[in-house]
Amino acid sequence: MLLIMKQIKYFIVVIACVFSTASCTKLDEELFSTLDASEFYKTERECILAMGNAYAQMQYRGTSLWGLMGTETLATDEACCPVRTQGTYLNNNGLWVRLNQHNFVATMDPVGSSWEFCFNTISACNQVIYQIGESPAEFAKKPNMIAELKALRAFAYYTAIDLYGNIPVTLDFTDVSLPQQKTRAEVFAIVEKELLDNLSLLEEKPSADYYGRCTRPMAYAVLAKMYLNAEKWIGTPRYADAITMCNNIIQLNSYSLEPDYFKNFQVDNISSKENIWVLPYDRKVGWGLQMHQYTLHPAQASVYNISSPIWNGMVASPDFYALYNSSDKRINSWMVGQQYDASGQPLKTSSGAPLVFTPSISGFQTAGELDGVRCKKWQFPTGLQTNQTMDNDWAFIRYADILLMKAEAIMRSNGGTPTQEAVDEVNKVRERAFGNTSNDYTTATLTLPELLNERGRELAWEGHRRQDLIRFGKWQDAWFGKPVTAATKELYPIPSTALLANSNLKQNTGY
* Tens-level pLDDT at each residue, the chain (511 residues): 444 445 455 455 555 554 443 333 334 433 334 445 455 678 888 888 888 889 988 988 999 999 999 999 999 999 999 999 988 889 999 999 999 999 999 999 999 999 999 999 999 999 999 999 988 888 999 999 999 999 999 999 999 999 999 999 999 999 989 999 999 999 999 999 999 999 999 999 999 989 999 999 999 999 999 999 999 999 999 999 999 999 999 999 999 999 999 999 999 999 999 999 999 998 887 677 899 999 999 999 999 999 989 999 999 999 999 999 999 999 999 999 999 999 999 999 989 999 999 999 999 999 999 999 999 999 999 999 988 899 999 999 999 999 999 999 999 999 999 999 999 999 999 999 999 999 999 999 999 999 999 999 999 999 999 999 999 999 999 999 999 999 999 999 999 999 999 999 999 999 9
- Number of residues in the chain: 511
C-alpha distances out from residue 345 to 156, 296, 338, Å: 46, 17, 10
In the prediction, which pLDDT does 462 show?
Answer: 98
Record: fold of 2-98+106-284+395-501: 1.25.40
In the prediction, which pLDDT does 88 show?
Answer: 84
C-alpha distances out from residue 192 to 87, 198, 220, 348, 456, Å: 49, 10, 10, 53, 27
In the prediction, which pLDDT does 40 show?
Answer: 60
The residue type of 4 is I
Q: What is the dihedral of CA 298, 289, 334, 225, to 10 degrees?
A: 160
In the prediction, which pLDDT does 29 show?
Answer: 35
Query: Are residues 422 and 407 in contact, defined by beta-carbon separation less than 8 angstroms?
Result: yes
**Number of Cβ within a 10 Å radius of residue 194:** 20
- Residue spans per domain, the chain: 2-98+106-284+395-501
3-state secondary structure 441-508: CCCCCCCHHHHHHHHHHHCCCCCCHHHHHHHCCCCCCCECCECCCCHHHHCCCCCHHHHHHCCCCCCC
The residue type of 421 is E
Query: Are residues 424 and 434 in contact, defined by beta-carbon separation less than 8 angstroms?
Result: no
> Measured between alpha carbons, how far is 97 from 93 in angstroms, rounded to an integer?
9
> Measured between alpha carbons, how far is 404 from 401 in angstroms, rounded to an integer?
5
In the prediction, which pLDDT does 25 show?
Answer: 36
E-assigned strands of 29-117? none
